[in-house]
A and B are shown apart, each in its own frame.
Chain A
Amino acid sequence: MDYVAHDASDFARPAEVEEMELYHPKTFIGKYIWSQDAKVIAVQYAITAIGIGLVALVLSWLMRLQLAFPNSFSFIDPSNYLQFVTMHGMIMVIYLLTALFLGGFGNYLIPLMVGARDMVFPYVNMVSYWVYLTAVLLLVASFFVPGGPTGAGWTLYPPQAILQGTPGATWGIILMLVSLAFFIIGFTMGGLNYVVTVLQARTRGMTMMRLPLTVWGIFTATVLALLAFPALFVSAIMMMLDVTLGTSFFMPAIVSMGQQLDYTGGSPVLFQHLFWFFGHPEVYIVALPAFGIVSDLISVHARKNIFGYRMMVWAIVAIGGLSFIVWAHHMYVSGMNPYFGFFFATTTLIIAVPTALKVYNWVLTLWRGNIHLTVPMLFAIGFIFTFINGGLTGLFLGNVTVDVPLSDTMFVVAHFHMVMAIAPILVVFGAIYHWYPKITGRMLNDTLGKFHFWVTFVGSYAIYYPMHYLGFAGVPRRYYAIGGTNFIPESAQALNASITIAALIVGVVQVVFLYNLVWSYFKGKPSGSNPWSATTLEWQTADTPPKHGNFGETLPVVYRWAYDYSVPGAKEDFIPQNVPPRDVVLSSNKT
């Protein structure tokens, strides 16, 4: 922090980084369609992910309508409901959040923030997007095949996933599995790029510990994804063989609809292990980039250096490592050995330590900061609230004895929406408000943004807070209609209706956001190159939006960490990473 002024021996050295060969597109198609520029690929990823995410949003409305007003909608039957649940969950987790954080923000921010001209393998990067798009199209196609998309739940548990009687048990499930396989292949191509770019393409002076936490978050999440997705890949292939060739990897001997099927002796629990070996890290694949981004948003908009940078890095790495040994907390009700249950409950609770540490550090960063309640900051604070909330219910569910009665109730739905749906989505919004000026050169409208924030934030609480009570009352998840039960009180129905109204309001408000995105692109206030007075390299580019190659003639040279805000003695309240010590303007009372 005190690295401001000192001996004049320091002079700006030219970058000695080997210049990479950039490809130079000539045509519109080369520039915006078959583009190898990470920034364009990022926008392609983002638009595709948000587009398919909107489908998932509409599916959630349909589910909510059915839950609030059963027997009112002729076009939603029990099979449809299960299909909606499944596609909603799968799209939101994988095709929206994973793709958006890694493919979208990863592509845009990594090269700019580490001071590189582009990803190290631009061509592979381009292919990665097109494979992802194929995966999305295959997924969409499953809505139109005979039998419709699969209704097996986003966890796709066999045997039911491929038995007749589950919606989409023929075409739907196959398309789902193929689509997942494509997604994973596409991601692996992108992921290799992100990892190698961070490790190998940093500019002069940019050591690992000078990286902004955003890069640390995306980087670690990418490593997790590279190591976790193979489990999903393997299980998808094995299930596909069970469906198509009649192997029995996961299918036990089973009587279905009065018929003894040909399968013998497969292990459904094996699938669960493989799935959650992927599934739990997946939570952190979504969460770690969000952690990183939120740290930067808070630091920039509170004009303070992040509290405990080193601890934050360690926490990210530790969480990443631990996330591989907690998976079976999703399987407490699978009849596992109680000792296993004990082991996994313990590891699960241990993960709470680095996670809580991060939360404390965010709060301490805010403490006595010069807090600007900009829209990104609002979303960042909203994230902290929701994340704490969801994290606390996670502590409950991590304990076997508490989890068993709550398993498969709306409590679980409320918990994971808080922690891995709403919280990361708030970060996505915050990040878009924060970086939109860099991407387009214009600010998003502030009034609309604040309106968007408050309705989304308060609305999300209106949706999910009451849902915990439904869970306590025993309302099960993945149920089309509860019907008459003794244990669920009448009033649950009223609660359900209110939740649905809140969900519809929150949904509709997203239109304001989309409108803001489009309107501001043409009419927004020009932002200049560094509207938030931020220190990181992406704000120091010669052009805004940055041109192909990011940094104009010469690459920036880095002289400091990413968090020199409100440095004592300096005139401005921020010192960009590429300002050498001797160029720092000192405040007048010191000189």
Chain B
Amino acid sequence: MTMFHQLMAKPWVTAQGKVDDLYAGGASSALAKRLALRVFLAVVAVLFFLLVTAYGTRMAYEDWRPAPQVSLLWANTLVLILSSIALQWAQYSVRRGRMDAMRVGLLAAGAFTVVFLFGQFLAWRQLATMVYFDVMNPAVAFFYLITGVHGLHLVGGLVAWGRTVARVWGDFDVGKVRQSVELCTTYWHFLLLVWLVLFGLLFTGNNLDLLLKLCGIR
């Protein structure tokens, strides 16, 4: 039943009572975890949405100076995509009971993620050595802030990833591992999506500019 239908129900009438009596109750822990992750992702989405909006609002001011481009970000983006693919593969494998392939996928995903984070760190360093560098420039400050927040979310993901990896050796509960892998995959895909939006909109030649113009804000 959709949320809308539920809200239309009249719980006080007899007929509806019989329908409601059929509701079997929830609380399967697998569903609960998946839902919790989704709700959490909604919260994170709001967080990044606000950051992008703040960036856009600030950009609409006269004195906006774009941040210098860091081409390393292209390579980093590629690596992050690879980590998502690796996880997708791990998920595909665990669903088909191929545990070795799953392990490879998991480990590869972790490795790519670490490389991505290191790459982001290098990008920070590069930007800091450029002549244009100036923390007082909002574009630069936003760059550090937004990439930093995104990176921290990945680090958090790595904790969950680590706990999953620790579980996949020796005897293990396949159902649980499968669920962990699925949750990790969802999370990684989501952070990849966020990154693509951030990168595409903010850090490659300020496409946001175009968007703002289209919306008539600038």
Give A contacts to B, CB under 8 Å.
1-3, 6, 10, 15-18, 20, 115-116, 120-121, 188, 192-193, 195-196, 199-210, 226-227, 230-231, 233-234, 237-238, 241, 245-249, 262-267, 270, 273-274, 277, 305, 309-310, 313-314, 317, 555, 558-561, 563, 581
Given A196-B32, A196-B35, A246-B135, the answer on whether A563 and B12 have CB atoms closer than 8 Å is: yes
A residues less than 8 Å from B20 (CB atoms)? 205, 207, 209-210, 558
Quick check: B39 and A120 within 8 Å, CB to CB?
Answer: no
Quick check: A233 and B29 within 8 Å, CB to CB?
Answer: no
Give the shortest distance, in Å, between A264 (CB) and chain B (any CB). Answer: 5
Q: Which residue of B lies closest to A563 (CB)?
A: B12
Given A246-B136, A265-B138, A267-B57, the answer on whether A310 and B23 have CB atoms closer than 8 Å is: no
B residues less than 8 Å from A265 (CB atoms)? 61, 63, 136, 138
Quick check: B141 and A6 within 8 Å, CB to CB?
Answer: no
Quick check: A120 and B57 within 8 Å, CB to CB?
Answer: no
Interface of B is mostly: helix
Q: Does B46 contact A (CB under 8 A)?
A: yes
Quick check: A3 and B14 within 8 Å, CB to CB?
Answer: yes
A residues less than 8 Å from B35 (CB atoms)? 195-196, 199-200
A residues less than 8 Å from B145 (CB atoms)? 237-238, 241, 247, 249
Q: Does B40 contact A (CB under 8 A)?
A: yes
Given A249-B138, A270-B58, A273-B57, the answer on whether A116 and B12 have CB atoms closer than 8 Å is: no
Interface string of B63-80 (1 = CB under 8 A from A): 100000000000000000
Give the shortest distance, in Å, between B141 (CB) and chain A (any CB). Answer: 4
A residues less than 8 Å from B25 (CB atoms)? 15-17, 115, 202-206, 555
Quick check: B141 and A230 within 8 Å, CB to CB?
Answer: no
Q: Does B51 contact A (CB under 8 A)?
A: yes
One of B3-11, B96-104, B174-182 contacting the partner: B3-11
Quick check: B141 and A249 within 8 Å, CB to CB?
Answer: yes
Quick check: B11 and A561 within 8 Å, CB to CB?
Answer: yes
The CA of A196 and the CA of B26, in the complex, are separated in Å by 10
B residues less than 8 Å from A246 (CB atoms)? 135-136
- Say which residue of A20, A115, A226 sits within 8 Å of B39 (CB atoms): A226
A residues less than 8 Å from B27 (CB atoms)? 17-18, 20, 116, 120, 200-202
B residues less than 8 Å from A200 (CB atoms)? 26-28, 31-32, 35
- A3-B14, A238-B54 known, 6 other contacts, Cβ within 8 Å: A3-B17, A17-B25, A206-B25, A209-B11, A234-B50, A310-B11
Quick check: B39 and A192 within 8 Å, CB to CB?
Answer: yes
The CA of A116 and the CA of B39, in the complex, are separated in Å by 20
B residues less than 8 Å from A230 (CB atoms)? 43, 46-47, 50
Quick check: A245 and B135 within 8 Å, CB to CB?
Answer: yes
The CA of A270 and the CA of B54, in the complex, are separated in Å by 7
Give the shortest distance, in Å, between B37 (CB) and chain A (any CB). Answer: 9
Quick check: A309 and B11 within 8 Å, CB to CB?
Answer: yes
Q: Does B42 contact A (CB under 8 A)?
A: yes
Q: Does B171 contact A (CB under 8 A)?
A: no
- Say which residue of B7, B50, B51, B63 sits within 8 Å of A313 (CB atoms): B7
Q: Does B36 contact A (CB under 8 A)?
A: yes
Number of residue pairs across A and B with beta carbons under 8 Å?
A: 164
- Say which residue of B7, B24, B57 sits within 8 Å of A314 (CB atoms): B7
B residues less than 8 Å from A120 (CB atoms)? 27, 29, 32, 36
Q: Which residue of A lies closest to B149 (CB)?
A: A237
Give the shortest distance, in Å, between B57 (CB) and chain A (any CB). Answer: 6
Q: Does B13 contact A (CB under 8 A)?
A: yes
The CA of A552 and the CA of B111, in the complex, are separated in Å by 48
Q: Does B173 contact A (CB under 8 A)?
A: no
B residues less than 8 Å from A270 (CB atoms)? 54, 57-58
Interface string of B167-196 (1 = CB under 8 A from A): 000000000000000000000000000000
The CA of A314 and the CA of B136, in the complex, are separated in Å by 47
The CA of A513 and the CA of B13, in the complex, are separated in Å by 42
The CA of A18 and the CA of B31, in the complex, are separated in Å by 12
- Say which residue of B12, B26, B40, B54 sits within 8 Å of A274 (CB atoms): B54
Q: Which residue of A lies closest to B51 (CB)?
A: A234
Quick check: B40 and A192 within 8 Å, CB to CB?
Answer: yes
B residues less than 8 Å from A277 (CB atoms)? 50
A residues less than 8 Å from B149 (CB atoms)? 237
Quick check: A17 and B6 within 8 Å, CB to CB?
Answer: no
Q: Which residue of A lies closest to B15 (CB)?
A: A3
Tell which of A120, A193, A313 has the most Cβ of chain B within 10 Å: A120
Tell which of B32, B61, B137 has the most Cβ of chain A within 10 Å: B32
A residues less than 8 Å from B32 (CB atoms)? 120-121, 196, 200-201
Q: Which residue of A lies closest to B44 (CB)?
A: A230
The CA of A305 and the CA of B11, in the complex, are separated in Å by 12
Quick check: B23 and A204 within 8 Å, CB to CB?
Answer: yes
Chain A to chain B: the 5 pairs with minimum beta-carbon distance, closest first: A17-B25, A561-B11, A247-B141, A230-B47, A204-B25
A residues less than 8 Å from B10 (CB atoms)? 209, 310
Q: Which residue of A lies closest to B40 (CB)?
A: A192
The CA of A262 and the CA of B134, in the complex, are separated in Å by 11
The CA of A112 and the CA of B2, in the complex, are separated in Å by 25
The CA of A3 and the CA of B19, in the complex, are separated in Å by 12
Q: Which residue of B lies closest to A273 (CB)?
A: B57
A residues less than 8 Å from B7 (CB atoms)? 208-209, 310, 313-314, 317
B residues less than 8 Å from A226 (CB atoms)? 39, 42-43
Give the shortest distance, in Å, between A521 (CB) and chain B (any CB). Answer: 33
Q: Which residue of B lies closest to A277 (CB)?
A: B50
- Say which residue of B8, B31, B39, B46 sits within 8 Å of A195 (CB atoms): B39
Quick check: A6 and B138 within 8 Å, CB to CB?
Answer: no
The CA of A27 and the CA of B180, in the complex, are separated in Å by 32
Q: Which residue of B lies closest to A242 (CB)?
A: B141
B residues less than 8 Å from A267 (CB atoms)? 57-58, 61
Q: 22 A-B pairs, CB-CB below 8 angstroms?
A: A2-B14, A3-B17, A10-B21, A20-B27, A120-B29, A195-B35, A202-B25, A207-B9, A208-B6, A209-B6, A209-B9, A209-B20, A237-B145, A238-B54, A265-B61, A265-B63, A267-B58, A273-B57, A309-B11, A313-B7, A555-B25, A559-B21
The CA of A204 and the CA of B137, in the complex, are separated in Å by 58
B residues less than 8 Å from A192 (CB atoms)? 36, 39-40
A residues less than 8 Å from B51 (CB atoms)? 234
The CA of A563 and the CA of B35, in the complex, are separated in Å by 29
